[in-house]
Structure 1
Amino acid sequence: LQFVVSYCLRGANSACFDLLLRGLLNRTSVPREVVDYIVYGTVIQEVKTSNVAREAALGAGFSDKTPAHTVTMACISSNQAMTTGVGMIAAGQCDVVVAGGVELMSDVPIRHSRKMRKTMLTLNRAKTLGQKLSLLSKIRPDYFAPELPAVAEFSTSETMGHSADRLAAAFAVSRLEQDEYALRSHTLAKKAQDEGLLLDVVPFKVPGKDTVTKDNGIRPSSMEQMGKLKPAFVKPYGTVTAANSSFLTDGASAVLLMSEEKALAMGYKPKAYLRDFVYVSQDPKDQLLLGPTYATPKVLEKAGLTMADIDVFEFHEAFAGQILANLKAMDSDWFAQNYMGRKSKVGAPPLEKFNTWGGSLSLGHPFAATGCRLVMTAAHRLKKEGGQYGLVAACAAGGSSFPARLCHARVVSVAL
């Protein structure tokens, strides 16, 4: 596994699609013609690039004979891209797959109103000038009101932030605890960056601005400053704020997946092995962000391991309250027995092994790109810390989740 990630400044264009593929090839020296397939994930589709994996591949100079497709599974879209690639390799269909994810939160598609869309489609079918003028004369000022992208769950009409606030309240996670955890994330990310551990960034020239050479959302603050912020979702008494929530950013990520035989034949030493993974889904109303709690014991059982066997944990930090609620749920026999049908708890990860290079709260959350970052951060940590097993987990919109197990030159596990 090799990994490249780029966090672009707001305003960056789609050039970071193929930039990451070029960066991956440059860092690995893998010839383009060796790649059998490309799978990319994205959440907010751009109509002009409905299959962004294919367009990025062509833009990066891959052969037009190299197939590529795009997947979407909310915030675990690049996880789905990776496991799709793993499946292709396991089935003997491919030896080398590039997987990743991309999101441009600074340039999301914004639609015209439904009335305007209907009028424009009808106008396209008008045959005479008179018919066109007649349709245009019916346009009213309210037709020009845009439909802004929804951040709410389709099935519940509730924003994820509102759900995170309810989840924190349900598990008695205080505002103070959330702010303390968020500060921890930024502090650890700054330390990792200063120590040269976050080296996977491909420099990106933002049109009209400077070149981005490192993650630019890391901002260690103070408890006093964070405490001044007002609730962002549940007002006036909520506990989720801008400071203890992950921020949205542009970003792209890519990993190189190979069968062991192919990697060794080409002279590569595998950085990590992706051994086990599962996907789970829960009630999107009350358990939207509890996926890691449900997924982690399943992937551990599949691997024949316990929490004590895991050396490195990398969990997606959508919200500080979400992380802390999951840790409490995982450490609760009552929750395991009443909600999960288990006899006992799986146990909470020890914080000294948990997201020690920061996380989404400090590095940002470019929806579809985050999954690859989690997996490769775990792989890097396993190598540096001399660990054997890593576990990655992430929640996603719709109540989905992914856990996986990784191994440094042996195994890695992922929970989704």
Structure 2
Amino acid sequence: MSKKKADKRRAVIVEGVRTPFVKAFDDFIELNTIELGALTVKELLRRTELPYNEIDALYWGSVVFIGIAPNTAREIVFEAGLPNHVHGMTVTRACTTGLNAITSAVEAIERGEADVMIAGGSDSTSNAEVPLPQKLIHLAAPFVFGKAKGMSDLIELLPNLMPLQELIPRKPEIAERATGKTMGQHCEEMAQRNQISREAQDEFAVRSHKRAAKGFEEGRLRREVMTISHNGHSASIDAFVRGDTSVEKLAKLRPAFSRNGTLTAGNSTGLSDGSAAVLLMEESKARALGYTPKAAFRSWRYVGIDPHDQLLMGPAYAIPKALDAAGMTLEDVENVELHEAFAAQVLCVLKMLGSKAFAQERLGLDRAVGEFDPEIFNVYGGSVAIGHPFAATGARLALTAANNIHLDGRANSLVSICAGGAMAVAAVLEAV
């Protein structure tokens, strides 16, 4: 982990940019994760005017992969026109992926492996590949890869094609393999267990939308978001942001995951496509090139928890670990960027952070971790309003946190993300 010491290298965030997070299967359906990533990288380099030959490597996150090009990072190097010497490493760790790419790049810089790196993530749910049924693959394999070619072989195959419904491609599975439940179903259980009401969730969602809308109106988010154009369509703000929404409007929506549930499309993140990237440099290198560092990483921790016991509660475990590694308590934190998978998930995490019983029974602490000041928490909205292209969210949060430190004069910022597979990450960024 990185703590500033006079005799050690320190990686810093110099700049960052992201696409607007757009609705999946809509106007930008033809842009895949590689193309979205390349657009962001090129815009980042245009804004910073960094000579391409200064870049050592690109670390990139992806969750929804393109089967014929699994090393998304290297493909983005080619697509963006970067020099061949820029090697690419692809990272994947569910919703923490984008931040994982960044912390991996920080480690590489601080080990002395590189001086200048680009890191981030992109995903296009619109281009998720629909897998063929295993039965069809097994039946067709002898014809595609083996010796079976003749009519007699085909005749022998025909009886095995029944029933035909077993051969029809189905949409990709979104349930957790370990539990058989979707994240929405897991969150419904968490909301019930922690007594999080529908009204509280809708109020939180409205807060997220209004703060994000204000962020665009005041120009703060506009400086982070580039304009993308494709096939006559253009976008420069996130597609899901609704500054005019209200608790009354959200109350009319039906439950999304359970007939009598409290989670709806209005208080959950929507399916979205997008990309986000940051430019990282060794601090002395950044200053030598004339750049002003925005922030550095003081600590981070990744955790895994029991998938059968509140699968999305990971941040409540990761946050105290990252704070301890940074030598801090929650009272020392001046800004918080917390991923909003669902309004209920955030409210459950906040409740457990403020619970002495949870701290004692689950964390081995004497007292509760603490409570966030609403004035420093997701100041410019969160994923419920902004959207959540899986691998891009971590980079978005790191970029916003760095800007909050640099532009608002904050000493630090705490970032945390829950993830599928019952995982989470928390990181502390600090002023340089």
**Shorter chain as normaliser: what TM range?**
over 0.9
User: What aligned pairs does 1:153-172 form with structure 2 within 5 A after superposition?
Assistant: 153-172=176-195
TM-score (norm: length of structure 2) = 0.91
Cα 1:173–1:65 shift into 2, 3 Å: same
Q: Distance in 2 between matches of 1:233 and 1:215?
A: 24
1:264 maps to which residue?
287
Contact 1:103/1:251 (CA < 8 Å) preserved in 2? Answer: yes
Deviations 1:303-323 (A, max 9, x none): 111212111100000000010
Letter in 2 for 1:28: T
User: What aligned pairs does 1:9-408 form with structure 2 within 5 A after superposition?
Assistant: 9=23, 10=26, 11-14=29-32, 15-124=35-144, 125-126=146-147, 128-130=149-151, 133-134=154-155, 137-138=158-159, 139-140=161-162, 141-198=164-221, 199-207=223-231, 209-220=232-243, 221-235=245-259, 237-408=260-431
Letter in 1 for 2:127: D
Q: Distance in 1 between matches of 2:388 and 2:171?
A: 20
Q: RMSD in angstroms over aligned alpha carbons?
A: 1.5
User: Kindly, what percent of the aligned residue pairs are identical?
Assistant: 38
Alpha-carbon deviation of 1:136?
6.1
Q: Distance in 1 between matches of 2:319 and 2:165?
A: 49
Contact 1:315/1:394 (CA < 8 Å) preserved in 2? Answer: yes
State the secondary structure of the residue aligned to 2:364: coil
2:9 maps to which residue?
none
Letter in 2 for 1:206: H
Cα 1:24–1:132 shift into 2, 3 Å: farther
Cα 1:12–1:194 shift into 2, 3 Å: farther
Matched residues, number? 407
Of stretches 142-151 and 391-400 in structure 1, the one that deviates more from structure 2 is: 142-151
1:414 maps to which residue?
none
Letter in 1 for 2:85: K
2:4 maps to which residue?
none
Letter in 1 for 2:226: V
Q: Distance in 2 between matches of 1:349 and 1:248?
A: 28
State the secondary structure of the residue aligned to 1:279: strand
Contact 1:103/1:366 (CA < 8 Å) preserved in 2? Answer: yes
Letter in 1 for 2:17: V
Q: Distance in 2 between matches of 1:47 and 1:371?
A: 23
Cα 1:121–1:224 shift into 2, 3 Å: same
| Structure 1 runs, 4 residues or longer, greater than 6 Å off | none
Q: Distance in 2 between matches of 1:115 and 1:12?
A: 30
Alpha-carbon deviation of 1:369?
0.4
Cα 1:358–1:12 shift into 2, 3 Å: farther
Contact 1:123/1:135 (CA < 8 Å) preserved in 2? Answer: no
Alpha-carbon deviation of 1:49?
1.6
Unaligned runs of 5+ in 2: 1-12
TM-score (norm: length of structure 1) = 0.94
Deviations 1:113-160 (A, max 9, x none): 112112222211235432564366454432541132111111111110
Alpha-carbon deviation of 1:44?
1.7
Contact 2:201/2:343 (CA < 8 Å) preserved in 1? Answer: yes
